[in-house]
Amino acid sequence: MNFGAITSILGHLLIVEAGLMVPSLLVAFFYGSYDWKAILLSIIITGAVGFVMSRVFKYKKDIQIKEGLAIVGFGWILVSIFGALPFIFSNTIPSWIDAFFETVSGFTTTGASIVDNIESFPKGVLFWRSFTHWIGGMGILVFTVALMPMLGIGGFQIYKTESPGPTPDRIVPRVRDTAKILYTIYTSITIIQIILLVLGGMSLYDSALHTFGTVGTGGFGIKAISVGYYQSTYIHLVIGIFMTLCGANFSLHYLLVKGKWREVVRNNELRFYLGTILFSVILIAINIYSPMKYNNFGIALRDSFFQVSSIITTTGYVTVDFDKWPTFSKVILFALMFIGGCAGSTAGGIKNIRIVVLLKSIRREFYRILHPRAVIPIKVDGKVISNNIIAGISSFFALFIFIFIITTMIVSLDGVDFESATSAVASTLGNVGPAFGFAGPSRSYSGFSDLSKFVMSVCMLLGRLEIFTLLILLNPSLWKSEGFNIRLN
C-alpha cells in the first residue's frame, strides 16, 4: 500500500472541497448573511490541511486497485468530516455527530436530515447543505479525476471503485474525458431544470437548491414541508420528471445526445426501471384515490407519480405526507427504497440492473430443474453476463440484506417501533432520505440516539459506495505498507 500516494491525493481532494465551498461564501456575501465567517474559516482550514497533505508526501502516478479503494473510502469520510465545519462554526448544527450525519447525508445524496427548523438557516450554510448533493451526486472523486490531470492512468482505479453498479461504464477510452463528458451532461441538466423552475415562479435561489437535490437525487428540503410548500402542479411535474431522468444511467443521456436512441430504447435496465415506475404509480393512485378522498383521480395520479419517482430514484422530496397513505401504498414505496435507480446514475439502492440479473437468475434456476443438462446463459442487452458478475451481484444482495438486518437491530435499541426502525435503516442504506413513522416525511432523524445516527451515517456511506468499497478497508491484507515518501525538497 502506497500511503504517500493516498495521503497526497486525499490532500488534493480537500483542496478541491475547499474550492467547492467558495460559491456558498459568495452566496452568504450576496445576501449579507452572518454565516460568511464560518464558511470562510471552513475554507481556510480545509484548504490548509489539504495543502499540507498534498505537498509533504510524494505522489506516485501508478495507482493500483488497493490504493483506489483506500482513496475512495477515506476520501468520502474525509470530505464529510471537513464538510461539516460550516455547520459547526455557524452554530446551526452545534453537535459533531449531528453535523457529520447531515454532511454524510448530503454528500451521499441521501437527504435524511436531523434539522427541525430548516427555514431558520442562513443563506450561505443552507446553500452549502444543498450543494453537497450536487457535488456528491456524480461523485466528488470523479470530479477530481475530471479536473486533475495529475491522476494520469491511475485515475481509472478511483473511477472504477466509485462508480455505482456492477461494472463501470467508460463512455470514451480516457477516464478523464469520460468524467468531463458526464459532468457536462450533469451541468446541462442542472441549468435546464433551474430555468424551468424559475419559469414556474420559483425564485432563482430556491430553484438552484431544489435542482441540486433533484439532479443529485439527494432531496434536502429547504422548506419545512419540502416541495409540498409550492402548491404548483407545474413545479411538482418538473421536479418529478427530472428526478426520473436523473435516476437513469447517465451513459444513456450521452447516447441520446449522440442520436443513438435505439440503443436507449432497447436498454433492459431502463425498460425495467420505467416499467416499475409506471406500474407503481398506477397501483398507488388507485389505492389512495378513494381512502384519501382526493378531489379527482388526476391529483392522485400526480402525487403518486411524484412520490414513486422520488423514492425509487432515492431523491426523497415529498409533496404529501405519504406516511398517512394506506398500508398497500406504503409497502410499495418501501420496496422501491430497496430497488433504487439505475447503475451509472446519481441514485442509490440496490440498482435496477442487479434486480434484472437476479430475476433472470431465478428464472434460469426454475428452467434448470426441468432441464438439468441445459446450458442457459443470462443476457442483458444481448450480451452474456459472466458467472463472476452474477456471483458478485448475488453476494452484494446477500450482504445488503445482512447489513440491513444487523443495523435495524442496533437502531431498534432506541425503543422505536418496528416500522420506524426498518424504514429508517432501509432509507439510509438505500440513500433515500425520508422513512415512515418516527422518521416520516413530516419529521426528522433528530430523535434518534447518537449511536443510531452514527450507525445510519455508516449505512449511508455503505450504500453510496456499494458496500464492498468501504468494507474492504477492514481487510488487514490491504494495508501492507510500502512506506511514506516524504518530500525533502
pLDDT at 137: 85
pLDDT at 150: 47
Does residue 313 surpass a pLDDT of 60?
Answer: yes
Query: 75 labelled as ligand-binding?
Result: no
Mean pLDDT of 153-181: 56
Residue 439 contacts residue 322 (beta carbons within 8 Å):
no
Whether 294 shows a pLDDT value over 60: the answer reads yes
From CA 107, how far away is CA 140, in angstroms rounded?
A: 8
pLDDT-derived band at 151, boundaries 50, 70, 90: very low
| Residue 431 annotated as lining a ligand binding site | yes
- Judge whether 32 is annotated as a binding position: no
Q: CA-to-CA distance for 14 and 28, rounded, in angstroms?
A: 21
Residue 383's DSSP bridge partners are: 380
Q: How far apart are the first and last CA of the chain?
A: 23
User: pLDDT above 70 covers what percent of the chain?
Assistant: 88
pLDDT digits (tens, 9 = 90+) for 349-372: 999 999 999 999 999 988 888 888
| pTM of the shown model | 0.90
The domain spans of the chain are 1-91+122-162
Residue 110 is labelled as binding a ligand: yes
Mean pLDDT of 250-275: 91
315 is in an annotated binding site: yes
Residue range 127-146, pLDDT digits in tens: 999 999 999 887 765 655 55
Check residues 485 and 128 and name the one with the higher pLDDT. Answer: 128
Averaged over 225-238, what is the pLDDT? 94
Which pLDDT score is estimated for 251?
86
200 annotated as belonging to a binding site for a ligand: no
Q: Is 117 known to sit in a ligand binding site?
A: no
User: Is pLDDT above 60 for 110?
Assistant: yes
Spatial contact of 100 and 455, defined as CB atoms under 8 Å apart? no
Section 402-430 average pLDDT: 96
**If you compute the radius of gyration of the chain from its CA atoms, what whole number of angstroms results?**
22
Residue 431's Cβ-side half-sphere holds a number of Cα atoms within 13 Å equal to 38
Cell 450504500, residue? 463
